[in-house]
Structure 1
């Protein structure tokens, strides 16, 4: 009997790739830190073999580094990657803004406004982690409103490479104020359905403020690494036991979590 062409079988390690990638993008696994294989095995209820095979896939994507006798380390972004990847991200976001203004319903735009208002409340309260989560959801929502699955897929691929420099790292007060002011302009352009205006704002936001924040982040990381070496303590990514990551309750292996645009 001929097997139907639509049946697709995935190995266990293939099912682990997406949720592991999502943990990196969400900041649950941070740049420079050793991937805690034992904790991940317990978290997903699997042995080390599929975990390690999944980590190899992520290493091929450039998300991780696998070092001899040390295991997998979450990759740090470099200045060269900022110069290469942020212009690509800017172009993707600019196109998403144009399409969102054209394709979104009034109700969808109202949902993004609600997310923006929540984000602003966190900014006024000085709650940066909560602010960053809403920031990520707003940018994701722009791609959802664009209605182009291929564009959204490219966005997620690039985002995975620059995860820490978008929605995880802490900002200086000056950069934070600037980012907030730009978001105020962007939501106004979306509500006005000003596609060219929103496109330009998003491109400037990514190549200007966000890239500047990324460079600041890299400088801090390099300074901390240098201080660690001078003190003889190494860095967070140095060889040693698995870090005590606060991994949440066991997550089902399968499709990555979708961040809703409420």
Structure 2
């Protein structure tokens, strides 16, 4: 009896990795605001920019549709999903539940090395604030949540959070690009990290909840102004 796998079960690792890379690049472009809410995503333009096939681009767009970052309009034309004040409020409410749970789990399960990672990230965020480096600020926030949710030890919560986090990526980019709001976020991050390092579960949950409510209020207010015709995506 042979030991070879049936042909249809063979793995194509290089192509699988390429799809992941294409997905990550398009997702990051949307999150960073290179492609704005409502903007058409042209397959040929993406293929040329990424130097990949239409198949790779289409697979990435299908995944981004599942994640809620892309919607499909008439004749199957994909575009960056619009974010409304109602959607944003719902996402932030759910995000608060997930982050507070992750904070408590982190306190109970995380090793000391994870606490040291968070302290280093808080310092990096402060340094990026001083230099005005928005790309670094966004990268640090992503790294912070990766450490928090990884060491919370619940992959299911982590997976759900990642999808929510991507969906409000454009709002995060806009908020952290404004110096006054970024300074407020830095102070909130310092407080969150201090509580996590001190193994103060309730303090961490409270600090995380306060942070989410603050960013939610700012995002929802701005979106409501935009919906009323008082602001544009570039404002």
Identify the TM-score tier after normalising by the shorter chain.
Answer: 0.7 to 0.9
* Alignment partner of 1:115 is 2:118: no
What is the number of residues matched between the two proteins?
225
Deviates more, 1:145-154 or 1:38-47: 38-47
Tell whether the 8 Å contact from 2:98 to 2:161 is kept in structure 1 after alignment.
yes
1:30 corresponds to which residue? 35
1: CA distance between counterparts of 2:222 and 2:133?
19
* Alignment partner of 1:215 is 2:220: yes
Map 1:59-74 → 2, pairs under 5 A: 59-68=65-74, 71-74=77-80
SS of alignment partner, residue 52 of structure 1: helix
1: CA distance between counterparts of 2:181 and 2:103?
22
SS of alignment partner, residue 169 of structure 1: helix
Tell whether the 8 Å contact from 2:122 to 2:186 is kept in structure 1 after alignment.
no
SS of alignment partner, residue 174 of structure 2: coil
2:89 corresponds to which residue? 83
Tell whether the 8 Å contact from 1:14 to 1:54 is kept in structure 2 after alignment.
no
Bigger helix fraction: 2
2: CA distance between counterparts of 1:47 and 1:124?
41
Q: Equivalent of 1:51, from 57, 61, 64?
A: 57
TM-aligned CA distance change 1:200 to 1:58, over 3 Å:
same
Please, which runs of 5 or more residues in structure 2 have no aligned partner? none
1:244 corresponds to which residue? none
1:16 corresponds to which residue? 19
TM-aligned CA distance change 1:17 to 1:128, over 3 Å:
closer
Please, which runs of 5 or more residues in structure 1 have no aligned partner? 229-234, 237-262
TM-aligned CA distance change 1:99 to 1:75, over 3 Å:
same
TM-aligned CA distance change 1:80 to 1:10, over 3 Å:
farther
The CA deviation at 1:105 is 1.3
The CA deviation at 1:157 is 2.0
Map 1:169-180 → 2, pairs under 5 A: 169-171=174-176, 172-180=178-186
Q: For the aligned residues, what is the CA RMSD?
A: 3.3
SS of alignment partner, residue 90 of structure 1: helix
Deviates more, 1:124-133 or 1:152-161: 124-133
The CA deviation at 1:98 is 0.9
Tell whether the 8 Å contact from 1:37 to 1:51 is kept in structure 2 after alignment.
yes
The CA deviation at 1:136 is 2.1
1:243 corresponds to which residue? none
TM-aligned CA distance change 1:48 to 1:221, over 3 Å:
farther
2: CA distance between counterparts of 1:10 and 1:151?
29
| TM-score of the pair, normalised by structure 1 | 0.71
TM-aligned CA distance change 1:21 to 1:88, over 3 Å:
farther
